[in-house]
Structure formats: C-alpha cells, structure tokens
Copies of this chain bind each other. A is one copy, B any other.
C-alpha cells in the first residue's frame, strides 16, 4: 500500500562536510546533534573512496563492495527517520570516475569525504520508525493509513 504523510518544513541547513570524514557518519552525527528526527538530505562533492551496498532481493541480504579510488559525487539523496530510538540516515549515492563512468548504490560507512556540500531539510510531522517489513525483509517505515 502506498502511504504518504503530510509534513511541515522545520529547518533548513546548508554547509560542508569534514575533509577525510566518513560521509554517512558525518551526516548522521549532525542529525543526532541537532535532533533532526525526520527530513531529507541532498549532497554533491567528491570522495576519496567509496563503500556501497546492493540489496539482493532473492537472498534478502545486503552485499557490500568497495571502490578504492576517488570519485565525484554526482548525487546523494536520502532521508532522516528513526531506528531504535535514534535518528538514522538512509542515503543512496551516484559517483563518477575520471572517464565519466557512473557507479552507485546504498551508501555505507567507509565512504571517505574529499569535499562535500550538503543540504538538510528537517520536517515536522508523524515520526517514521523503521521496523522489519515482511514483503522485502528490509527495515522500512512502519506506517498506517
């Protein structure tokens, strides 16, 4: 069932992320510090190396892989919601190498920032808490109509 909730803007942040920091870790840390519990993120920039995930829909397990070289971040989009009582950032990233070829997937810890511009929009609204979803095996938002 498609379920959408109406929310309100509750804060807008723009800035740059720490050189050689962990991309997912830095965004998560900021959300926890500012108590952003629901929202949306967007970024562009570059990384020194990347660790990405792909969810295997048959085995229902994430498969992770590393690219040990620099990339431009052509897009990072994601959400902020709650898991186990704490803000959790879920982001997908698209990267481009020196020939312009693109690679992407689920952003995992281990992706190291070279330079990154980030926007975060915080929302006011019903909290979205992740829980086990039967259909997919993923920790999706538990929502009722």
Contact = CB atoms under 8 A, between A and B. Distances in A.
B44 A90 contact: yes
Chain A contact patch, size range: 35 or more
A15 interface: yes
Interface in A93-145: 93-94, 96-106, 114-115, 117-120, 123, 125, 128, 133, 135-136, 138, 140-141, 143
A42 B77 contact: yes
A4 B15 contact: yes
Interface in A29-50: 29-30, 34, 38, 40, 42, 44, 46, 48
B2 A6 contact: no
A6 B1 contact: no
A117 B88 CA distance: 14
Contacts of A97: 54
B102 A104 contact: yes
Most chain-B Cβ atoms within 10 A of its Cβ — which of A34, A79, A102? A102
Given A38-B14, A98-B63, A104-B96, A44 B6 contact: no
A42 B75 CA distance: 10
A18 B18 CA distance: 37
A106 B72 contact: yes
B100 A14 contact: no
